[in-house]
Structure 1
Amino acid sequence: MSAETDLDDAEVIRRARRDSAAFSVLFDRHAPALHRYVTRRLGDSMADDIVAETFLTAFRRLGRYDTDYRDARPWLYGIAANLIGKHHRAEVRAYLSLARTGVDEVAESYADRVEARVTASAAQRDLVRALAALASKDREVMLRQAGQGHRLRGRRSGLRHAARRERSGHRAVLRHPRQHDLSLSRLADGLPAGPVHQR
């Protein structure tokens, strides 16, 4: 290996294209300085991962390296800089998501996520049972209204109040639809929840 350590980077890369073990010379030669560079940019906790990914990317792209350039440092630093930029963009996206949703995916525990999924699953089963108990005409109206509600999600003014006002009536109707003699099409027309009055 001592003969390979005397070679310039371009020659090491030529050899590494035929014998992957020769790539270790490039790693040994440039990894310590690259690690210091990444540490200054991202901190020590990310440096190992970025340096490893830099050399993995370089290894995968050996065939594209222009061996007219004898020193591979600019190429390696360019790969590392791209990975650092990718890390920064992901970090910004995570912060924007946190600001938008208020949910920190990293801080939220696995148990909390499981509990939320179980709760949602139970609610979905209750909803499906309630929908199954409805007459097909009424079920169609409810599903159509749910689809319109999805499109109108951004219009919040007035909807919260209307939802609170009708929530108690809906609960009773979904539990005992026949007792309430309710036509759900009245709900679709915006009429208050309650029994249908015959004229």
Structure 2
Amino acid sequence: MSGKTKQLAYIALFAALTLVLGYLEATIPVPIAIPGVKLGLANIAVLIALYLMGPRWAFAVMLLKVGVTSLIIGAPSMAVYSLAGSALAYLGMYAAWRFGRLSLVAVSVIAALLHNMGQLCVAVAIMQTPALFVNLPAMVIAACITGIATGTIAFGVLRALPPLQATASGRSKTAPGDRSKTADRLANRHAAAIAAKRS
């Protein structure tokens, strides 16, 4: 199977995974009655895309996640909350991934924390109620728990998937620009690290 065919196959996989996880997340009740606290199952697809294919594909999956979540919930206004939380989570996820010394689970926890923070800030801005920040401690605890869970699941999935190797970031090794080459090397390194940890 060629590299391009693998890329298309993984994108189809991510689309299906995002749809299924988004649906599950919308149907599973959360024991904490605090707005913005979610299981974050759909973030698993973003994590897998980041470590398997690189930041550009992960960004595309993040946008897909926001769209799917908004369609499933059926409330267009929720897209604002989802986009704010997901965008902030992606930036933190990308920065931690690029740093290269944190485990996938740690990256997942950072993403979950920032996701909750992004949604909380949007809620405060829209409702103009700073008192909502009283929920921050509970949201931090919930983010740590869900981040560990989603990171562990993503790691397990990555162990079962074959790495894309030279095409891990969706670009060839001869792509122009230092940033593209750096992203290629990072994606290849993380894919190799996942493969090396297989039992």
Q: Quick one: higher RCO (CA 8 Å, sep 6+), 1 or 2?
A: 2
TM-score (norm 1): 0.29
The structure with the largest alpha-carbon Rg is 1
TM-score (norm 2): 0.29
